[in-house]
Amino acid sequence: MKNILIFLLLFIGTGLALEQFLKMTRITPPTLKYYDSTYGSLNRPNIDYFKSVEGLYVGKTNYDGRFRENYPKRKDDKRTLRIMLLGDSFVEGIDVFSHNHFAAYIEKILGEKLNRKVEVLNFGRGNCTIQASSFYFTSRLSKEYDADIVLYFTEARDVLDLGIAYEYPSTSYDLNADQQLAPVYLWKNTSEYKIHKKLTDNPILKYYDNSAYFRLLYRAVARTKLSGFPVLTFGKFCGTSADQDYTPLTVSDTVSLLTKKIYDTICKYNNGQIIFVVRDKPVNNPAIIQYLKTSNYKYINLADAFDGYNIKNTKINAYYFKASNAYGGHWNNDGHKTMGTFLSNIILENMSTYKMPDYQP
């Protein structure tokens, strides 16, 4: 009896101490997603987060689940220039710290040049194609935050009708029978949502995310489901993933009717001050720029900022993370700095052409 008591006491004591250690060192971050009945998966607000797959991020999500400080819903005055960012993980940028993100550079550079407060609201989200992000933008973000300019990032994946095959994490737009945009809730069919629902419906397991141990268990199960057992874990390289081969790829898919409708719809919001930022890596599709050009929409071509994978006129790679040896994932610190300078300069050059009723020049 005494031995059982000693065992239990030390088991619980050590477990709690380790639990605290794992939490405080951030090495077992909480699950990032939660599910909203209207918008599908969203980032959880006010959580400590850590990511080190390619770069490194340590910080908190704000009340809107974004990786920066809280965004005020409304501008404090008309002298403030407010820019909203929408896009995928490149824009979300959790491979770099928020003060090294291109949003921070835009705030600094434009703030200094224009001699006023500049707020950049980053609503980029990993894995979010334009079909998914546009629903959230049109039904919520555009109305809630009075942005003067919206930089809407788009890339090759956006022009495809991936709706059915690609399980969006969020509520997205699709075409209904009348060929009009209508929200679809495909996220409800994803295996991830099903696991999440199973866990949250269980009175005990719904708190799994509060415990570092259970997060580890959850990840072990998810990893087995994702990669299979035992190949990756017991394979020769013990789970070491090969570095990504970052071969540039150009495709020639035509812009789908769905994407055209989405581009057209987005452009009606925020007084039409939508600037599409076209990313050509990892996959380039010239059809996007072609369509935006013929439709007379404002766009920025990111190919102008880089020479291949290097920063323009340099040999500095903007996509390589030395510490993780990750090649070709997202922009590294140098890439973000370049992006911040490049976008700031273009905005500055074109300020006089923007129509911003809520902005006092």
Partner 1 sequence: MLFNTPIYLVFLLIVVPVFYFLPKRIDKFFLLGASYIFYGYWDWRFLFLLVGSSLMDYYFGLLIYKAENKQKKKILLLSSLFLNLVILCFFKYFNFFIDSFNLVFGNKLDFLHIHILLPIGISFYTFQSLSYTFDIYREKLLPTKDTLDYCLFVGVFPHMVSGPIVKAKLILPQLATLQKPVKSDFITGFSLLTVGMFQKVLIGDTVAKYANHIFSDPTYYSSSELLFSLFMFAIQIYADFAGYSNIARGSAKIFGIDLIDNFNQPYLSKNITDFWRRWHISLSDWLKEYVYIWWLGGNRKGKVRSYINLMLTMLIGGFWHGANWTFIVWGGLHGGALVVHKFFMERTKHISIRNNFVSQFLSVISSLATFLFVVLAWLFFRAPDFHSAWFYLDRIFVHTVSSNLTADLFIIMLFYFIAILVIDVVELKTKRHDFLAILSPAARFGIAIPVWIAVIFFMYTIGKPMPFIYFQF
The site for partner 1 (CB under 8 A) is made up of 3-4, 6-11, 13-15, 18, 21-22, 24-27, 52-53, 55-56, 58-60, 69, 96-100, 213, 216-217, 219-220, 223, 233-234, 236, 238-241, 321-324, 332-333
**Residue 43, both tokens:** 């980032």
Nearer to partner 1, 104 or 130 (CB): 104
Contact between residue 339 and residue 296 where contact means Cβ atoms under 8 Å apart? no
Nearer to partner 1, 40 or 340 (CB): 340
State in angstroms the smallest separation of the CB of 191 from partner 1. Answer: 18
* Cα(87)–Cα(85) distance, integer angstroms: 7
Nearer to partner 1, 74 or 219 (CB): 219
State in angstroms the smallest separation of the CB of 118 from partner 1. Answer: 18
State in angstroms the smallest separation of the CB of 60 from partner 1. Answer: 8
Look at residues 326, 280, 272, 335 and name the one whose alpha carbon lies nearest to residue 302.
Answer: 280
Contact between residue 122 and residue 77 where contact means Cβ atoms under 8 Å apart? no
* Cα(85)–Cα(93) distance, integer angstroms: 11
Nearer to partner 1, 6 or 251 (CB): 6
Cβ atoms < 10 Å from Cβ of 205: 13
State in angstroms the smallest separation of the CB of 43 from partner 1. Answer: 17
Cβ atoms < 10 Å from Cβ of 321: 23
State in angstroms the smallest separation of the CB of 287 from partner 1. Answer: 35
Q: What are the φ/ψ torsions at residue 44 (nearest 5 degrees)?
A: -70, 135
Q: Residue 25 carries which DSSP code?
A: T
State in angstroms the smallest separation of the CB of 307 from partner 1. Answer: 21
* Cα(281)–Cα(329) distance, integer angstroms: 10
Nearer to partner 1, 239 or 357 (CB): 239
State in angstroms the smallest separation of the CB of 258 from partner 1. Answer: 34
Nearer to partner 1, 185 or 246 (CB): 246
Contact between residue 48 and residue 60 where contact means Cβ atoms under 8 Å apart? yes
Cα-Cα-Cα-Cα dihedral of 89, 95, 100, 103, to 10°?
Answer: 10
**Residue 154, both tokens:** 């788009």
Nearer to partner 1, 11 or 207 (CB): 11
Nearer to partner 1, 204 or 242 (CB): 242
State in angstroms the smallest separation of the CB of 352 from partner 1. Answer: 33
Q: Which residues pair with 184 in a beta bridge?
A: 172
Residues 6+ apart with CB under 8 A from 62: 45, 46, 68, 69, 70, 71
Q: Please report, as a single letter, which amino acid is at residue 5.
A: L
